[in-house]
């Protein structure tokens, strides 16, 4: 057995997902010697199995739905012919178009040494990866998360899909049964339904449980209208193989029901990738939820940072990118930069989309914060009416002295419309700041101005205001 080569670096990173790549690119371009270790595909889950392929499939479903429903515009609407193999090719073409930006070649061009192998700590300041031992001043663990496979009786005898395999299908599922009604499950349900599959969703609690229930119901009603069978408060008791398909025994509303399908997709959450990293050897505290970190994203071994999903907080690509910036400031400049999550947004890319940032109405109440929720519907927006996309609303949560605490938007392009509210929460802006902007007409973005203005409506048109105006009109 040959002796392993020792590499000395300023920063060594395990995991080439969005967070790890951002740290590697930033540190290398600032002159640091960087080693990046990745055992799988560059780009990680987001590029290969998550955000990118799912949004590409959602776009295909949206195109099909536009053809199907275009009669409302006076255009010849009809049931579209869908070539699922070409949909699959579209999805992988989108991945392929982005992949060069995350490739080994690009990062080597930036001066990063990429090791394509599994990496694990063998001491507090050493990682073993393939034929190398990497010693570094600082380390970053960015190994992400993987689909959680629940202990369902019979599952080990049944073929099933996760987000890592569902985008490999070249034949459309006849009947896709989805276990889990979170964002991934619901997005995939609508996309596959619009592409012609029969879809059943089984959720143990309520779908999209982290979001405003009123907003979720707008999405729920659209899914039901499109023909998706949603079983909430339902427990999967067991699964069995049924010919070339699968049968799921579901306990729902006090009865046991059997759902027969062609494919089974598991979307019941994710678990941090902490196994086989040698974390014990590096004196790094962790649990199945992820690696424990402080506000500077340092682990119990202060040489080591953990970012993204493996750090056990918000499992979003944009959070991993944000974490990368925190680590760069700490590791490169020794600045005590800390994580601030009060303005972390999230979006579920259904149609209509559902986006949120900051405190919800319920969260403010639970925390004992004095706040008022104000809503404005898209049916009051002229652009939404022109596009026949009036489902949904925006709800702003406003605190003392008009301070914006949070917002939820459910409607067309909600993911785009949430950004000014992210800025408002981050910077502590007031409803008057949002109400005072000049919004171009006609745009969906006017809803933000209108809901902020609605906060002041009761006071503006009160009897007291009318009295003051009446007095003012008597002045010469």
Binding-site residue positions for FAD: 55, 119, 143-145, 309
Q: Are 246 and 159 in contact (CB under 8 A)?
A: yes
Q: How far is CA 57 from CA 60, 104, 187, 395, in A?
A: 5, 26, 9, 29
Sign of CA dihedral 408, 412, 418, 421: negative
In the block, tokens 């301070």 appear at 403
Q: Report how far residue 7's alpha carbon sits from residue 128's, in angstroms, rounded to the nearest whole number.
A: 10
Structure tokens at 376: 């404005």
Pair type for strands 393-398 and 372-377: antiparallel
- Give residue 66's region: left, alpha or beta (phi > 0; psi -120 to 50): alpha
472, HSE (Cβ side, Cα atoms, 13 Å): 6
Across the strands, what pairs with 298?
Answer: 305
How many CB atoms lie under 10 A from the CB of residue 371? Answer: 20
SS3 40: coil
What is the DSSP secondary structure assignment for residue 155, as one 8-state letter?
G
Q: How far is CA 416 from CA 71, 347, 358, 380, 410, in A?
A: 27, 9, 16, 19, 11
Structure tokens at 31: 């002159």
SS3 19: helix
Across the beta sheet with 245-252, the strand order is 234-242, 245-252, 255-261
Across the strands, what pairs with 250?
Answer: 236, 257
Which residue ranges are tagged as binding site?
55, 119, 143-145, 180-187, 203, 269, 309
Which residue ranges are tagged as binding site for NAD(+)?
180-187, 203, 269
Q: Report how far residue 373's alpha carbon sits from residue 455's, in angstroms, rounded to the nearest whole number.
A: 8
The closest of 2, 6, 321 to 134, measured between CA atoms, is 6
Structure tokens at 394: 């925006």
Q: Report how far residue 354's alpha carbon sits from residue 371's, in angstroms, rounded to the nearest whole number.
A: 22
């Amino acid at each position: 057995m040959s002796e392993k080569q020792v590499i000395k670096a300023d920063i060594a990173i395990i995991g080439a997902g969005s967070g790890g790549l951002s740290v590697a690119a930033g540190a290398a371009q600032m002159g640091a010697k960087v080693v990046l270790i990745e055992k799988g595909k560059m780009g990680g889950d987001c590029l290969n199995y998550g955000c990118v392929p799912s949004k590409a499939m959602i776009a295909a479903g949206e195109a099909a739905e536009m053809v199907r429903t275009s009669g409302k515009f006076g255009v010849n609407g009809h049931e579209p012919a869908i070539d699922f193999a070409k949909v699959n090719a579209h999805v992988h073409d989108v991945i392929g178009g982005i992949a060069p930006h995350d490739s080994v070649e690009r990062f080597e061009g930036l001066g990063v040494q990429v090791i394509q192998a599994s990496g694990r700590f063998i001491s507090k300041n050493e990682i073993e990866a393939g034929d190398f031992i990497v010693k570094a001043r600082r380390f970053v663990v960015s190994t992400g998360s993987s689909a959680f496979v629940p202990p369902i009786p019979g599952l080990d005898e049944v073929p099933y899909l996760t987000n890592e395999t569902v985008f490999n299908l070249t034949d459309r599922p006849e009947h896709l049964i989805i276990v889990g009604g979170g964002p991934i499950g619901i997005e995939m349900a609508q996309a596959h339904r619009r592409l012609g599959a029969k879809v059943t969703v089984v959720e143990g609690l309520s779908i999209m449980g982290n979001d405003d229930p009123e907003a979720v119901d707008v999405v729920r009603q659209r899914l039901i209208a499109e023909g998706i069978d949603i079983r909430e408060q339902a427990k999967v008791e067991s699964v069995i193989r049924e010919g070339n398909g699968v049968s799921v025994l579901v306990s729902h509303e006090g009865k046991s029901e059997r759902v027969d399908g062609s494919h089974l997709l598991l979307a019941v959450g994710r678990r941090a990738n902490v196994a086989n990293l040698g974390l014990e050897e590096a004196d790094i505290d962790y649990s199945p939820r992820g690696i424990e970190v402080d506000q500077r994203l340092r682990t119990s071994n202060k040489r080591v940072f953990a970012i993204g999903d493996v750090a056990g907080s918000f499992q979003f690509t944009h959070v991993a990118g944000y974490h990368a910036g925190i680590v760069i400031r700490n590791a490169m400049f020794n600045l005590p930069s800390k994580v601030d999550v009060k303005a972390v947004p999230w979006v579920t890319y259904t149609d209509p989309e559902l986006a949120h940032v900051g405190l919800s109405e319920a969260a403010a109440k639970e925390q004992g914060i004095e706040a008022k929720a104000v809503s404005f519907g898209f049916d009051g927006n002229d652009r939404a009416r022109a596009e026949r996309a009036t489902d949904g609303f925006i709800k702003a949560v406003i605190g003392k002295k008009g301070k914006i605490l949070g917002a939820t938007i459910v409607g067309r392009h909600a993911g785009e419309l949430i950004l000014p509210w992210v800025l408002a929460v981050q910077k502590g802006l007031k409803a008057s700041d949002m109400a005072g902007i000049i919004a171009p007409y006609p745009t969906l973005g006017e809803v933000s101005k209108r809901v902020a203005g609605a906060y002041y409506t009761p006071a503006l048109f009160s009897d007291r205001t009318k009295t003051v105006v009446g007095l003012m009109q008597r002045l010469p």
